[in-house]
Structure formats: structure tokens, C-alpha cells
A and B are shown apart, each in its own frame.
Chain A
């Protein structure tokens, strides 16, 4: 299969690669760049564990091709913390029971960033609606919703 050159900025770092046309973005991130924080959970875009940000929009990296990211910016869970300083959402997820097994967590954090980007002061219902593309079996979503509400408050500086 022919290999296609791509240039993608991943977590702020420019990456050049040649990938097969059918290479999934999830596989490119995990297997080529060793960013294994992005998870595979269903291969059908339902569970959301593979969610990443593409130019700030949430996409399912298991349904996206690496070549589609050519010329764009990708943010994964590895790109959230600034050195040792966790993102306010990461802190909130720890303090409010936002995760247990942690497998859905990278995708949840990405979805949460997109929710708060769109709606900095969301209602609980808006947060729940915004998480419709992400499944969690551990928390019953209670801790996740509370984490996002708490982070929103912190990020607004109120």
C-alpha cells in the first residue's frame, strides 16, 4: 500500500510521518507516536475512549484516518498537563471521583474540554448531553459530571 506523507502538530510538537492511506488516527497516535493514553474500546465510534481534539473539535480517532489530520493540530490526553501541573479538569477528575478504572478517562477529558470550550458555564443537563458520545461503566457518570462542573467553576475563576 502506498504511503502518504503527513505533517501533524501533536500536543504542540510537529510530527512528520509517512503512513499507509488506511492508517487510523488512533493507531497512528498509539503505535507510531507511542501516545498510548488514547484508548481503543469499540472500533465503531460509540464508546468514545479514543476521543482526541482535532483543531479543538472532538473527533473519534478510531473513525478518523491519520491522513485526515494532515496539516492540523491534534491534542491527546498526554498534551493536557503543563509539565507537572495538571489541567484543572484533570485535578477535578481526581478530587471528585471522575474516574475509576481510567480507561474511558482520556476520552472523557477530551469531551469535557470541548464542552467547556463551547459552554463555559454549563448546566448539569448540558454536561450530560455533551458526554453522549462517551461511555463509562465505573462511575454512573455522577463523579464525571461533578468533576466537569467543578472544573468549569475553577476555569472561570469564580
Chain B
């Protein structure tokens, strides 16, 4: 990682490492997160969660809780609006009524003068349940006669079928066909800040919600819908967000319950999740069972692919339908020769906690299966796995099987970078380790979208810019900074157009009353969409400044220089210099004057494909790619996997801020390694057993190697200065790269995550007994 970053911001321009704009406030403890806010008369909310995975609510007795001094409200499902809420399919009320469908579902909410009183009150609530038959797994869910999580659904949330080309003919003509099944486990997003919200009703009766969120506008629409309010009666303000990773979009219920309670009581209410609350209430990624059947021709080109996925939705449908859609088809777009595809995806309701959006959004599951599969096929073909992956990698100018139009594609270059950095050429020739500890190397690659046209057939972004009377530039956006550096990127884009340092730019936190509309920080969309809008806003401001300066100085615009926050005539000397501040004041304080403010919108030239049955078309203005190489050492006695080295290469188009890109890559890769090796949500009868950070083991500094991050700059034609998204792609390849490295080391193929010592030892034992069997041959 480069170390040229400077905190003063003076030297920062596009492509230079640039510290976050809000570095000072975050490093001095002054940044305010939702749990840091206090208001006069503020009450504290706590919820009682269901201890049953599937049960009828027979009765709720709140009398003793209500009688506790300091308790202001004890409310249950019957007290909530009778309209249903949910992302697309509306399936639940704000608190459960009639029955509960997962352990952790919110049943009773208490508001009290402090958290301790609220917790004490919960202990006094008596809920009688009548247990119902459990739907323990997605297989059980879809068996005829299974109990139903939701009546008249057959426990099938959604089914997708996509078919292109002549799949059967392609398989019939293939030189090699390989089929295998892979299983993935849910991952908890693991942001360090548990969900927190403070909500109140303003003097004019409007509901105000300050919360930790990736999207204030999607949240506003959701609260308004759930409470039966017009959207103009709800204001959502983004607090500093302590990490989100997909978990703070529109599925979490902390903010919704808090908003409802404040609206109902007319008093400020704070709801801060405990970590257990958060584990039970957060959406984890869907577990998927992925069966891949792939055919290659004699040149090693993938020509046929069949994907069958069964995914566990958990108890309610949120964004899991979209996650499944992504798992099902997106990775097909990595294969440049592929024209024949058949996919079937089914999403089953179970009594597990609801599953939904987590970083990568279905990509990690697909990438694990695909890269494991491709490595097995390369071995069967006798081709180097990197060579096989590169041979099939899409290139700039390609239109993929599902209609993705690739203006840039650096996947092959990513493979080159990581294989060189890990020393593949030399290491693949070294003699295989024969001792207790054996080394192996694995590779994997991935594709991700930068934006995704979906909601309202608009995937645009709007940036408002104004020049203040003291010459600073203030930007407003509807997209959220959760720590990924979005605001610094916007400041860079605008500053570079105006020739000022980023330290002269302020980016305001999102607020539905004040910010232009934005879908928010999802689908790695902000750099490519809001970045373009910020450039347009910067150019519009520049145009206004030059026009006014030309008028004031009596010099044609073409003869003006704009630099360092000033405008002056280039040819005449000496001359008057006009500062941005002076121009801003002149722009306003004159007859017919107006504030120097512009609004710029960028809506990409993409196609609304995901909501069509055939799902064909160019959904995003750019597609990011990543590859990862991992060298492991496997202890054949303990089954322990140690990562000796790993390199991740991200094709982010262009690294506008390498400091942020490397940070995103390393963080995403760590999350991928955690998912592959350490993180497992353990369930018994659908009850989460390890809902705390001691037993759900996210990687620590000591358990991770130094992650080496590399950048490929493929210069996306649609991107701001060539940039694409760089936040999620690096999350995708890790698990498969590790699985491939383990196989390379000890010959054990792990097709079910996580990759645990137990599974490796079982695989080694199976190999040993197969080798010992009479007539065993060594491949």
C-alpha cells in the first residue's frame, strides 16, 4: 500500500491516496453515531424476541411490565398498524401478530426512561406460545406435506428459470462435462456498530428518524409505507455509519420499530441493538446449494453451463430473491465463449432467521462454486487453472451471454497480477510437500456490477453543489458514506473539475429533507454513478464561475485561468484575481442574482433487465472484476489451514483514491477469508447458537496474513475518469481460492463451506482409505 497520503488534503487529486474527509472527527472521537445522540425526554426501547422458531402466539400479558415505574409503553403486534411491511412481498407487521416464524422475531416492544428499566420490563412480559411444526431446512421446506412458514406458499418464495442457446446440444458436443454440488453457509455482516436509531416527532408533527443506514431515501419510503404516512411526513437523517456491508439497507427492523414507537408516543425514542439483538435481527446471507454442470470444448472454452440453486430464505422474504437472482446468472457473464445457459433457482421459506443482503449480494456463493468447479475442470483437462480461467475471461468489447456490454474488463490482467505476485510460475514447478505440513496455491476470479438498473427504471445519481460566500464548495448527495470513502471520492471528482484541493470541499451527510434523491449505497453503484454526477456538478459550477468572471473582468472566457480557488485572465498581466468567494457573493448580491448552486444528474445508459423474465440486457454502466491468489499450508495432522500469502487484484477501472480502494480490497478479502475459514452461524432447530462475537469468530489481526492488494486500471468508458465500483468484488473470490489451495496442498476438495479442520481431516481419511483399498490407483 502506498504511503503518500496527506491529511491536509492540499496535495490530493484524482489517483492520489487521499485520507477520508472526515478523518479528524473519526480519529478524535467526535464523529456522532446513532447511539451517541441524546434528546430531552428521550425514551429507550428494547424488544422481546421470540424464543420459538415457529409458534402461535396464544396470549401476551404486559400488565406487570406496564406497572413498572419508568415504563412508558409496552406494545405488541396488535398495537402496530395492520398493514404489512417488507421489501417487495409484504409479509409481516412491525411486531409479530398471531404467530412467530423465527427465533429472534420481535414480539413486544418496551419504551422506558432508561435501558435498564426497559430490560427489566421485558422480563415481566409473559407470552404464551403454542409451538408449531418446524421447517428446519430448505429440503424439508419443499417436500410435499411440509408445514408451511407462510400459508399457501408451499414454502416456495420464488423460482427463476433462464435458458439461452441450445444447452443440450452444447453439452452433447462438449469435450468434457463436469457436474458437482457446492454448499455455502450464511454470513453475518459483522459491522462493528450494532444497529442504532433515534427517532422523534417534530413540532410540525413530522416523524424524524436519525439512523445508521446505507440509504436514507429507501428507509424513508419504507417507514412511510409501514406507518401509512405520506413520504413528505417522514424525514430520515443519516448518522455516522459504523459499517454496514449490506445489512443496513431496508431489511433490518431496529429503525422501523424505533420510528413506529416514536411516532406512536410522540416522544424521542432511542433503540440501540445489543450485539445479541443484532445477531438475531440482522439479515445474514442466504445459504445456497449450488449444482453446476459445465461443458468445455477441445480448446478449453466453456460452451455450456447449467446452474441449479436451492437457497434458504429464512422466515421472511426481503432482498433474498434478488440475491438468488445474482447467484444464479451473474457469474455466467465472466465466460467469453459461453452462449448456452440453463438456470433454475428456487428460494425456500424456512424457520431460520430471514436472509438477505450482505456484501457481494449472492456473488460470493456463486464465485465459490464456479471457481472450485473451474479448477476441477482445468485439472481434468490437464490445463493450468490460471490459464483456463484467463482463456475464458471476458474482454473489453464483449457482450456476454446475458447481455452485459463490457466497456472495460480487466479480469485476465487481474489473474496475471495475482499469479505473478504469488510466484506461481516458480512455485507450480516445486516438488510437492510430503511432510506433515503441505503448501498449496489456489486461484479464483469474480465479476460484480457497478450499479444495477432496477428501481423505477432509474439508476441515476444526483449531486447538488454550491459555492459558499467564503469560497468553499458544498456537495449534497442522496448516497451514503458508511466508511467506504464515498464522500471523499465525490469531493475529489468535484475538486478536480474546479482545480481546488479536496480540503476546500464539504460533503453533507444525507438527509431526506435536504439531500437530492438517491437510491443509496448499494450494488457498488456510488463511484460510477455519483462520481459522474459530481463531475457534472463541478463542470456546471466551473461554467457559472467562468461566465461571471468573464463579465466582471471583461475578458473572454477562453482567456481565463481557474486555479487554486481563483480566476484570472491568462494573457494580461498584471490583472485582478477573483476568488471563488468573491464570485459567489457577486453571483448573489446583484439585481436578479441567485445563489451559486447547481444540480447535476447522471443516469447511465443501462437496461432494466433484472425485472424481466428473460433477464437479458446490460444492467450496469460498468462491471468490476477481481482475482485472488492464496497460498496455504495445511497441517495434515490437525487439519488446520494457515494462509501464508494472499494477493487480491481489483479491476476498479481507475483508482480515484488508491488509499480507499486498497482499504476496500483488504477489508473485503478479510471478510471473504472469514466466511471461508472461521465464520459459521450455528443453528440447532433453527435457533442461533453463537450470536456473539466470542463464538461467531470474525477474523482478528493475528488470524489473517498481510493481504496484498493490487489494482488493475482498465479505464471504464462510462466511469468518472475511468472508475468503476471497488467495494464488493474483492469479497467474492477468497473462499474458492482457499478451497483450491487446500486441494492443491493435500488433494482434498471441500465443497461445503466453511473449510474446517474437521472436514479436511475427514477428507484426508477418505483419501487414505481409498488409497489403501485393494486395486486403488494413484491419479
Contact = CB atoms under 8 A, between A and B. Distances in A.
Interface of A: 30, 35-44, 46-47, 49, 76-78, 80-81, 86, 90-91, 93-97, 99-106, 109, 124, 127-129, 131-132, 134-146, 150
Contacts of A76: 29
Closest 9 CB pairs of A and B: A37-B29, A101-B483, A103-B242, A140-B670, A102-B26, A140-B666, A77-B29, A100-B483, A94-B23
A47 B701 contact: no
Q: Which of B32, B274, B483, B664 has the most CB of A within 10 A?
A: B483
Contacts of A137: 189-192, 243, 245, 667, 670-671, 698
A143 B702 CA distance: 14
Nearest to A78: B29
Contact of A102 (B7, B483, B660, B669): B483
B667 A140 contact: yes
Nearest to A99: B26
A136 to B, nearest CB: 7
B27 A95 contact: no
Interface in B1-52: 1, 3, 5-7, 17, 19-20, 22-24, 26-33, 35-36
B692 interface: yes
B704 A86 contact: no
Nearest to A144: B701
Given A36-B36, A86-B28, A99-B27, A42 B240 contact: no
Given A100-B485, A101-B192, A135-B192, A81 B28 contact: yes
Contacts of B272: 40
Contacts of B702: 128-129, 131-132
Contacts of B23: 93-94, 99
A135 B670 contact: no
18 contacts: A37-B29, A40-B194, A41-B192, A43-B275, A44-B693, A99-B483, A100-B243, A101-B241, A103-B243, A104-B192, A128-B702, A131-B702, A132-B702, A135-B693, A136-B701, A137-B667, A139-B667, A140-B668
B193 A39 contact: yes
B661 to A, nearest CB: 10
A46 B3 CA distance: 31
B35 A105 contact: no
Contacts of B692: 42, 44, 46
Given A94-B19, A97-B659, A39 B667 contact: no
A109 B243 contact: no
Contacts of B699: 140
B55 interface: no
Interface residues of B, number: 64
Nearest to B196: A40
B29 A106 contact: yes
Given A46-B693, A135-B698, A145-B706, 12 more contacts: A36-B29, A40-B272, A41-B192, A43-B275, A76-B29, A101-B241, A101-B243, A101-B482, A102-B31, A138-B243, A142-B706, A143-B1
Contact of B663 (A86, A129, A139): A139
Interface string B189-218: 111111000000000000000000000000
B693 A49 contact: no
A98 to B, nearest CB: 8
A46 B28 contact: no
Interface in B447-489: 482-485
B5 A37 contact: no
B688 interface: no
Main secondary structure of the interface of B (DSSP, over half): loop
A97 B194 CA distance: 22
A138 B24 contact: no
A61 to B, nearest CB: 13
Interface of B: 1, 3, 5-7, 17, 19-20, 22-24, 26-33, 35-36, 189-194, 240-245, 272, 274-275, 482-485, 659-660, 662-671, 692-694, 698-702, 704, 706-707, 709
A37 B693 contact: no
Given A76-B29, A100-B663, A137-B671, A94 B20 contact: yes
B30 A37 contact: yes
Contacts of A140: 665-671, 699, 704, 707
A142 B24 contact: no
Contacts of B693: 41-42, 44, 46-47, 135
Contacts of B17: 95
A35 B663 CA distance: 28
Given A49-B192, A150-B3, A109 B27 contact: yes
A37 B193 CA distance: 13
Contacts of B32: 36
Q: Which of A47, A78, A103, A104 has the most CB of B within 10 A?
A: A103
Nearest to A47: B693
Nearest to A108: B701
Contacts of B668: 140
Nearest to B708: A142
Given A44-B694, A103-B193, A93 B243 contact: no
Nearest to A86: B27
B203 to A, nearest CB: 25
Q: Which of A37, A91, A146 has the most CB of B within 10 A?
A: A37
B274 A97 contact: no
Contacts of B243: 100-101, 103, 137-138
Contacts of A41: 192-194, 275, 693
Given A43-B274, A140-B669, A143-B666, A95 B5 contact: yes
B269 to A, nearest CB: 16
Nearest to B28: A81
B192 to A, nearest CB: 4
B666 A139 contact: yes
Q: Which of B240, B243, B244, B699 has the most CB of A within 10 A?
A: B243
Contact of B700 (A36, A109, A127, A132): A132
B3 A101 contact: no
Contacts of A35: 29
A124 B482 CA distance: 28
Contacts of A47: 192, 275, 693
Contacts of A93: 23, 27
Given A47-B693, A86-B28, A138 B3 contact: no
A104 to B, nearest CB: 5
A101 B242 contact: yes
B199 to A, nearest CB: 19
